[in-house]
Structure 1
Amino acid sequence: MRALLLEDNPDDADLLVFELKRAGFEPEWSRVDDEPGLVDGLGRTPDIVLADYNLPGFGALQALRVINALADPPPVIVVSGAMSEDACVEALRRGAVDYLLKDRLARLGPAVEHALAQKRLDHARRRAEALSQEHERRFRAAFDHAPVGMAVTSPDGALIEANTALLEMAGVTMADVRGRPFDGLVLPEDRPVVADYVKLLCEGGDGDRRSRPRARPDDDHHGRPVREIRLTGHDGKITWTQYSASMIGTSGPLVHQIADISARRRAEQALQRQTEELARSNAELQELDRLKSEFVATVSHELRTPLTSIRGYTEMLAEDIRDPDQSQIISIIDRNGRRLLALIDDLLTFSHIEAGTLMLVRGPVRIADVLRSAVEVARATAPAEVAIKLSPPEGLPAVDADGPQLGRVVLNLLSNAVKFCPDGGTVTVTARVSDAPAEVVVSIADTGIGITPAEQTRLFTRFFRSAEAQRRAINGSGLGLAISKAIVEAHGGWIGVSSTPGAGTTVSFGLPVP
């Protein structure tokens, strides 16, 4: 088979040839990408032309104009990455025998087989109308050995001849069907498809598809493409096929072509089943995730009440104890109680974020006040060896925000910076105003261990902890940054990170200025 490919992308051309070979063809092919190349390629009398619809400057529609001017044009199949319904109809109206999307090339082999069979049938039909009995004999030979099922019927639908491929496809013999209605081979539900197609042929004279657009893919009786029908034999076997027909002369016999597409349909049905199974699995996972979130929220709430009482009584004990050893014990209890309470608050907040119930109580908030308050809290708990510096500029505008939640973000970022700073390290808090867009940008920089580029992309993922944090056994739940990101984005802001391993990390976030 000689194939001419009108394609500007060599990779796409190789893919088309691969699909042809996979369909059983042994193509001799060449690729062209402009009109001179097409004219030269047509001089080598290709059996089939595969034309890219969207080729820059010279696409399938221009190619059809050149090809249709030939005395014996080869069949053209339009191939495209995407085509509208109007574009498909226009290509068929201008002479294309079929169209394919590049992401569905499994149909290329059957489409080429059908196009070649249609071409042979067109030759046979024209010869039968104008030439001798010898030409009719040659047509019969082509009919009998066609790679697709074929049948000849009278205008009233009575079956005159059927080739071996069709008889095998339907599981019948010629003696079973000669003189009977052709649509007796078709499943009753699909017979209107055949009737409508034949009616269109009769209304269109010789039924030449070049003279009119093909019916729309969704213009059918049962939600399937118009030319897909099911054959049924005496043994009850159902065979999915692609159906087309043509008329010999203006009122002569009809020639029906039927290509077996059962394998494709089985693949589609298997894919549909897999899709449904994946959808069910996804729904189950979503339900499990919802139950997990509810469980975490419930347990966190139940733990918070007794833990608050423990901390309250711990503070009362601390006021009355003067013994240094006992005071240290009470201090340890209080410190770990605060740590547990912070973890529970994180879990509750994250549960609200996942459930979409995080409530923000907005109002005018001075960023400088939020930063000072958070730095004071961080300094009270930070090791003495780590310095925390605050240098917000004067005159920062107020933002429309939830003050406590914003303070939570800053404190989370400060706590992270302190945890990852070595002795003698420094954490610096700065703020500035950006004009385009108008926003306040807060940056918290440390001189700590830094984060690798690969881990920076996952830094704001829930429960993520860097490899270095795990190696050094640095405490943390992996929720702080995920919560901070959710809170900042709920305010219409952004958050990002810049880090160099061994040289420190800077986390910045921006909030819009009203």
Structure 2
Amino acid sequence: MSQGRILLVDGDPLEAQCFCDVLRKSDYEVVTLPDGDGALDTLSTEDWTVAVLDLKVRDGEALLEEAVTLAPPRPVVVLLETVGEAAAALERGAWGYLLRPLDPDLARLVVSRVYRWVRVKTELEHSVREQEELRKQVHRLRALNRVSHAIGHAFELNTILEHSTAVLLDVIEREVAVVLLLNPTTSHLYVATARGVPKERVRFHQPFPLHDSIAGRVVIEGRMEVGHGVPAEPYLDPEICAEVKNYVLVPLCVTEGITWDSDRERGTKLAVVGALGIFSHRDEPCTPEDLALLSTIGNQLGVAVTRAQYAADLRQANVQLEAANAELRHLDIMRGQFIQNVAHELRTPLALVRGYIELLAQGVLDEEQRKHAITVARERIVALTKLVEAITTLQDIKAEPLEKAPLAPQHLLQTACRRVQQRARAQGITLTCTSCEDLPMIQGDFVRLTEALHQLLDNACKFSDPGSMVYAWAEASPDRQSVVFYVRDEGIGIPEEEQNRIFERFYQVDGSAARRYGGTGLGLALAKEIVEAHAGQITVKSRVGEGSTFAIMLPAFSG
């Protein structure tokens, strides 16, 4: 087995032959050349253990200079005439020298020693490379561990992304890292985190379509992309893009399920939730190990993003559930109050009707008293009928179709006012009803809209004191695209914090006030649902002790 390959460049054929015989006895493979012509190509293209060079041959000096500059440098032993030439040769890169006339034993010893030096040097370099690679591998594993720890212990997604990008740039020695996330609703990308670049040069949280960038292509195709230079990416300042020499973009993937192909081969279904971009100002591309690290961390960040999205969805669902539960509790309270008020409204007139009927049955009343009893019973029965109708109307208004037709606002308002005029006079309240003459027509259900206005007028009378005024009027909006009906009273008013709730079903500002003034809290809810069924709006302005102004806005009829 050959110990090594020796290239001998010697212009003396006898000396070369002698040298060959000595080295071959020591199991070296020797190739001889008479001069430097072609020796450099031979030296650079083949694997040689040692080159023995006669500096006196043609191109010998140039061959020594070239040999030590090769990568890796070739070890050269020079043949010299005198010791005085040795220092200069060693300074120029020679590993050793031999003097003429050649001493065979010394020649074998020098070549053998240089060979051992080469072998030790090669082993040391290999060991250094292995140690460096091991150091880098440990560094990568620590980076993975740090990212995994951040994902496992940090709950804020921004914290995870910022920590992970900082670790990445430190490990792979790049300058810029950007994390882009996919909005699943709009299918747009946006920058969530950027490191290594001034924040004012990154378009944070500005959505852009997938097809407008390399990052979008990576998300669509679900695979890594490596390139040199980068076109204008929509999320980075153009000057930043111009400075980029090479880039890597990896998808942020998360396993969505298991798939099976036609041959029953098991596969993994992946979902892409974003992209991780690494941009460098240097010419050196990322190593395969760096790319593997980026891919692994991309998958880890995909899990972190998905977990954060699930957590956000869960928090939102919990908020909505709590709001729904609170609303249910509130509705339950209002329903209880409503039942109490309805029971009171039913019990009082029913007790009165029952009492009069019993008196009539006993025959103890005279003619005048009988007439009064019948009149009161009839009034109470009418009131009970209206109460039941209000309840059923609330239930049926969205189920039954509206009988819409073109309507004159003046006629609608006058009809509603006539229905409440008798009550107003009975309470000593002055009701005025006016409207502009040139009002646009509206389209709607006459019975329903009259009921809505009647509820507002009835409500105004109910909470007004004797001697006060109730005003009702209608006017067109400035653009004549709608008609507005107003009802204003001088009653007790409504607290500001209650004004957003008075139109809710079963709601009453004060249950005790309901008993004082009467009613079940259905009138305004009924009016609101009728108005909204006509694509209208109902609003209120009020101050406690100064009265209230209700407004119903309905679209003008354009047919």
When the two structures are superposed, what TM-score results if normalisation uses the length of structure 2? Answer: 0.45
Give the TM-score taking structure 1 as reference length.
0.48
Structure index of larger Rg: 2
